[in-house]
Chain A
Amino acid sequence: MTVAPLELARRQFLGRMTTGLTGVALARLLRADLFGAAGGGVLPHFPAKAKRVLQIFCPGGASHVDLWDHKPLLEKFHGTPLPGGDAEVTFQGKNGNLMRSPWDFAPAGRSGKMISTLLPHMARHVDDMAFVHSMTSRTNTHGPGCIAMNTCFTREGFPSAGAWISHGLGTLNENLPTFVALQDIRGEPPNGKANWGNGFLPAQHQAVVLAAHQPLRNLARPGSISEAEEEATRAFLAQANAGHAEAHPGNSELRARIAAYELAARMQLAAPEVSDLSREPAHVHALYGTNDANMLKASYARNCLLTRRLLEKGVRYVSLYCASRASSVDGLLNWDAHKTLKADYERHAPIFDQPTAALLADMKQRGLLADTLVIWCSEFGRMPTHQEGTAGRDHNPDAFTTWLMGAGVKGGVSHGATDDFGRRSVQDVATVYDFYATVLHLLGVDHERLTYYHNGSNRRLTDVHGHVLKGVLS
């Protein structure tokens, strides 16, 4: 432990600088005390392909058979019973006959991957994507499903992948959070904050919530306080704390808290700067669609643009949500199309498609994809049948699609497959454990060795399961 923060406090008091400390010593202190990397120099376990992660999450159970997983037989057998699936009872009740996708699929890219025509912009990226078509979930319920897709556990209280990575690898920057969650303007995803929580890890590993429509809480000094008053107050505080710390040698927490105030001051400068989208040229705004007439799309597009800026500035893990929770009307606020698949997805897909595709294109063009891993998730898929009494689909935890892209990922490939109708994953069946074993692997972390003792177990992100999905690695 060094005395750098005390030096800082003194300098601050002398009024020479308010945010000056850039020393390696402080960086180390912050890393250890404020960001809490697992420490001991054990991580990464091996050379990493990816330095940071962008997770895009479409909550509500985005339908694999209507977006990514082309099932020609569904068209052919539309209106006939699912073989072997007579009157199957799933989450909301009985199922009807097979129901074709309301949208055609078309080949895209050099790979010729069949993608729903509902996603024309995303289709341009298929050659960079590695699809996992054989995902399965342990739950058919949104809340547990979403937290499972983020924490690998269906019950609350476990750390999210972003928190684990914050814990394991620490920060990449000195004035912004390590882990940021951008929730949709329509609200929180199912199970809310548990999706980006620290669980039993220390609190500093939880995501900081901010978005284009939602500044970081308590970032700005109160309006009633002038800059001069702020500076004088902080100087007085720093002096008092420096004196107190000197009178209490051997208590490193006191120094850490002084440093935390300094870091807070730096965040107060850095966060508004990174959030200031007006610094982006008009053509970039146009690319993302930030001024789209559809307010929901424009809002999500702004979050996409903010995401790129956060990643550029060294935020380690960004969770970007497109849509929110289950409302009184299924499928209104998220991808949960129980009753009116066509109307629902014609509402959700345009919000998602162009801005996300723009974000990926922008990242690629700037070289960010070289060391950023992009993952796309939903908590489960949907049934190939329609739900009895409706023109929608019920939850399907037995089959869904995720994809990866960017650092260390082989583009244009597909891992695993579902059966002829997309009812079940049947080939190279994958789990969320495998998914995150792969994510950690790309970050240079052995998922079996990143552990934390809690309540009787050395816990892992991947519980006691997980195999790296080798087929998606470049």
Chain B
Amino acid sequence: MGRRCGKSKWALLAAGLLTAARVNAAEAAGVAFFEQKIRPVLVEHCYECHSDQAKKIKGGLRLDSRAGWLTGGDGGTAAIVPGQPEESLLIRAVQHLEDDLAMPPKKPKLPDAVIADLVSWVKMGAPDPRDGALVEAKRADKSWWSLQPLRAADPAVGVGPEAIDHYIEVSLKEKGLALNPPADARALIRRMSYDVTGLPPTPEDVAAFAAAYRSEPQRAVAELADRLLALPAYGERWGRHWLDVVRFGETIGFEVNFPINDLWPFRDYVIRSLNEDKPFNRFIAEQLAGDVFGKDQPETEVGSAFLVAGPYDSVGNRDVVAQKNIRAATLDDLITATSGAFLGMTIHCARCHHHKFDPIPTEDYYRLRAAFEGVTHGRRVIASAEERAAFKAATDPLNDQRAKLVKDRDTLEREVTRRAKEAADKVVATRSKVNPELTEERFEPVAVRAVKLVMTASTTNPKSAGGSRIVEFEAWSAGDGARNVALASNGARAEGAKSAVAEDFPEAYGAHLAIDGLFGEQWFIGTPAVLTVTFAKTETIDRVSFRNAKDLMTEDKAQGATPTDYEIQVSADGETWRTVASSAGREPWSAAHAIERMRREVTTPEEAKQIAALSAEIAKVDRALKAVPPLREVWAGKYAQPEEGTFVHKGGDPMKPGEAVVPASPTMADRVVPSFALPADAPEGERRRALGEWIVRDDHPLTPRVLANRVWQYHFGTGIVDTPSDFGFLGGRPTHPELLDYLARRLVAVGWRLKPLHREILLSRTYRQSGAHRADAARVDQEARLLWRFPPRRLGAEELRDTMLHVAGKLDRKMGGPGFRLYKFTQNNVCTYFPLDRHGPETYRRSVYHQNARASVVDVLNDFDLPDIAFAAPRRANTTTPLQALTLLNHSFTTDMAQALADRLEHGSGASSSEKIDAAYAIAFQRSPTAEERAAGAKLIETHGLTAFCRALLNMNELIYLD
């Protein structure tokens, strides 16, 4: 796990530097004591105020060098008198023996054991190797290890699996350790199968391999490696790793979090590229500028979807400052993703100031921004020239035809409109316009059961009332003491279509809101725009009214559009209706409304016929156009030449522009790899192309190292550098620097292809050793970072789910295409995601094809550390939680798979329990059960059935852990 406490990090670094110190042999024991017991205490408790890292050095005393405590603080006497703890102010202070000098201040007294150590150390003469020449590095500069050229090969070591073993064994020997003996055949093929393909081997695979391994282990492993690396499942497994690295997710995240249903071609592109063993330098460059490198080559161009595969805030904002901040945050995602995935550098830390720990000035951040300045999120057509031509050939004639028809219809309609306008000008309105706050119609008293408001126009649309709103509709009884008989509380019922839906809140927007007696929530009028209110009993009414809003506190009246043109119809039986009032005679809402009203009256039958015929023709053409398969659109971003230059944002604030920057390479490695800089107005695509080409230069110190380290990490669980996207000062140091450089050089030498590198690793003795635990070795190297054993591991989320499907015989191996979903979602302004309780067979594909939604939790996957993809996940967490147990015991996916496995055993193996148990162990673990296991299983099957046994099997540690 990546956890690291800042302060212990200091101590680690210091210990590393110590190796360079010229330490007197006689002092060695004392220095060791200092390093082990004293330095961590000083760093933890004192440095905050008494070292270079203090904002202000308190009392003038420095405790980060020998000279510091010898000189003492403002008081001018040494803080420590070697050999004499009772004379040493520091000791007295931590012992709280000085009234006004209790250290550390405002914190609990140090533990007695710690104070005792300090006393012992002073008694020893206060050995302290920090002699001033060894000032602790507080940050990296351009001499940082990862920014140096790759070390030249040692010709004596050679290349191949043996070279890997050489570097590993050198480190092991230094610690008196050695590799474990080789793993047994079953453990090895399980390990390799999962590692390369993410799936277990079949029992037959294991048997065949075991036989070959017995006679010729080297060859058997080589053949197995070749076979596995050639399987399409390799791309599915290693493509998934890469998708983690590039923060690939298929919803846009943030508040609205809409699904992105056309980003899957990028996922397929990644899988395809890995299966083809596409050179990674090309693969990386395509992700930055696939559109430039692969113009009219969809298979290449789609790579550039990398740029927009991250989350972004898509909520509109009228506030200009907010807009700039949102844009800055959107581009920050691209910069963060690019620098982390390819360079293993945290350039994003230089957004507000120079990087605090790495040689990355803030200008570098904005140089990268300049490269991405023209990129926005969205979809675009990705098609070959042939596809585009074919589409054009198919649609051009139809579009021409349509244009002509539309022109003819427009000519006719213009004439009708002209006459309608003339007629409208002559109409004198007898009544006022509708009033959004209250529109009322009176009529002769009529005894009815129901009333209808049939609406044909609204304040914003003269042709339809759909989408307008009513907050309240009223129908009043005739005579004295008029009552609103349309109120729901008086027993009335309202019906009407609504134009908005909130799936998880069905009450919203409905017509019932128009008769609830409240003036807050509105009915959102749908199509047809008709409100039908049925009274509790027959009522005599003489007045109806409706409104959009009431009692507003401000001068503004409307809350959205209001219906303007309508008829009021009544019915005594709910079947036959007659009109008792309408908007006719009211002043039209606008000139357009007036014309629309007259249009019907002035249209001649002949014109109506012609317009109808033309409309039918147009509809026919539209159908034909729709039938032409559209060019594929992919969520691959849009590019435009930036209108403005790029500036440093002082303090990360886009409202504080600083120095102008041009699209250029970041400078941290400029002593090693040539820089590039483009003019400020360089063409948009050129910027990304240049950046891509710079990143994948063969002589780049970072890119090959970072990539080789990722490959190693996915094989062994932990990288040679354990912070795979941070090769800077706060990141880990390589456990095997020579090996890392060897692998990086090798990667470049084999043309940036991964498969040869995989092969060398898989064939190494380091990889093939057993995972057996050895207490003596563990005492030296608890986590086996030096690889004295193969580190055992738990299956990842996808592997576990795929394994369950595979074991049950249900895994659908269909590759590619739109993904499946283990959630449902609702969309009402924003999207909400709900994990499914039942998974249908249409979801039984490999988990890499799951359309992972951001900020959603799919228990079967996320419980097992499938990360939320707000950021890249270059290394996954590995947790063990009770929720995992609940999910794997109780989710219907487990019971379904248990049932399927039981069916499989029922039909595919012998009749006895013990034969079924043998078959189950063969499928799940590729081994035979012991007699004890068989007996226990048989007992369970006997009392509770085969499915109970299968459910237990799917929960076993042996299924989820690999040796």
Contacts and interface: CB of A to CB of B under 8 A. Distances in A.
Contact of A93 (B9, B107, B318, B332): B318
A471 B113 CA distance: 37
A245 B878 CA distance: 18
B513 to A, nearest CB: 10
Contact of A457 (B345, B349, B775): B349
B656 to A, nearest CB: 15
B348 interface: yes
Contact of A197 (B325, B778, B855): B855
A25 interface: no
Given A157-B868, A328-B502, A456-B349, A218 B881 contact: no
A270 B813 CA distance: 41
Given A99-B553, A240-B936, A342-B551, A260 B882 contact: yes
Given A157-B868, A253-B961, A142 B255 contact: yes
A162 B266 CA distance: 35
Interface string B308-332: 0001010101111010011001001
Contact of B952 (A154, A192, A216, A233): A233
A96 B349 CA distance: 41
Given A194-B855, A199-B870, A260-B880, A329 B509 contact: yes
A237 B329 CA distance: 49
Given A228-B944, A253-B880, A217 B829 contact: no
B254 A144 contact: yes
Contact of B881 (A34, A209, A254): A34
A55 to B, nearest CB: 19
Given A156-B854, A203-B881, A253-B880, A46 B108 contact: yes
B677 interface: no
Contacts of A156: 253-254, 311, 854-855, 868, 870
B826 to A, nearest CB: 8
Contacts of A249: 773, 775
Interface string A393-414: 0000000000000000000000
A386 B554 contact: yes
Contacts of A342: 520, 551, 553
Given A140-B317, A332-B521, A268 B886 contact: yes
Nearest to B884: A260
B257 interface: yes
A390 interface: yes
A157 B556 contact: no
A92 B315 CA distance: 11
Contacts of B830: 143, 190, 325-326
A455 B948 contact: no
Contacts of B862: 203
A232 B3 contact: no
A19 interface: no
B855 A218 contact: no
Given A34-B882, A46-B107, A264-B882, A232 B940 contact: yes
A89 B320 CA distance: 8
Kindly state the interface size class of chain A when it binds its partner.
35 or more
Contacts of B856: 192-193
A390 B319 contact: no
Interface stretch (B23-31, B148-156, B741-749, B888-896): B888-896
Contacts of B854: 156
A203 B876 CA distance: 10
Given A221-B890, A455-B346, A456-B348, A343 B521 contact: yes
A193 B5 CA distance: 27
Given A190-B255, A332-B508, A339 B319 contact: no
Contact of B855 (A191, A216, A386): A191
B495 interface: no
Contacts of A258: 957
A36 B3 CA distance: 11
Contacts of B726: 455-456
Nearest to A143: B255
B859 A218 contact: yes
Given A143-B315, A157-B871, A346-B520, A327 B556 contact: no
Interface string A63-99: 0000000000000000100000000011111001101
A215 B3 CA distance: 33
A139 B319 CA distance: 10
A253 B326 CA distance: 43
Contacts of A33: 880
Nearest to A452: B3
A389 B255 contact: no
A343 B518 contact: yes
A117 interface: no
B558 interface: yes
A118 interface: no
A127 B601 CA distance: 71
Given A245-B957, A325-B832, A389-B558, A457 B346 contact: yes
A1 to B, nearest CB: 12
Contacts of B329: 154-155
Interface in B819-856: 828-830, 832-833, 835, 854-856
Given A204-B881, A261-B885, A267-B886, A328 B518 contact: no
B508 A253 contact: no
Contact of A328 (B340, B559, B828, B943): B828
Contacts of B567: none
B949 interface: yes
Contacts of A240: 933, 936, 952, 956-958
Given A143-B313, A218-B859, A240-B936, A91 B870 contact: no
B886 A219 contact: yes
Contacts of A221: 889-890
Given A99-B554, A220-B890, A386-B554, A187 B870 contact: no
B303 interface: no
Contacts of B336: 455
A204 B879 contact: yes
A283 interface: no
B520 A340 contact: yes
Interface in B1-33: 1-6, 9
A376 B484 CA distance: 42
Contact of A267 (B9, B882, B936): B882
B698 interface: no
A188 B856 CA distance: 11
B322 A140 contact: yes
B396 to A, nearest CB: 39
A162 to B, nearest CB: 15
B304 interface: no
Interface in A173-192: 186-188, 190-192
Given A157-B870, A218-B890, A141 B880 contact: no
B865 A203 contact: yes
24 contacts: A34-B882, A45-B107, A91-B318, A91-B319, A96-B555, A141-B326, A143-B313, A156-B868, A202-B877, A204-B879, A209-B857, A217-B835, A217-B887, A222-B892, A232-B943, A232-B948, A253-B880, A260-B880, A264-B883, A328-B508, A344-B520, A386-B554, A455-B871, A457-B730
Given A237-B955, A333-B502, 20 more contacts: A46-B107, A91-B317, A155-B311, A156-B870, A190-B830, A192-B257, A217-B886, A221-B889, A232-B943, A249-B773, A250-B773, A251-B792, A264-B882, A325-B830, A325-B832, A341-B553, A343-B519, A453-B730, A455-B726, A455-B872
Interface of A: 33-34, 36, 40, 45-46, 79, 89-93, 96-97, 99-100, 102, 138-144, 154-157, 186-188, 190-194, 197, 199-200, 202-204, 208-209, 216-222, 224-226, 228-229, 232-234, 236-237, 239-241, 243-245, 248-251, 253-254, 256-258, 260-261, 263-264, 267-268, 325-329, 332-333, 339-344, 346-347, 386, 388-391, 451-458
Top 10 closest pairs, chain A to chain B, by CB: A343-B520, A143-B255, A456-B346, A157-B870, A250-B773, A156-B870, A264-B885, A453-B4, A264-B882, A391-B552
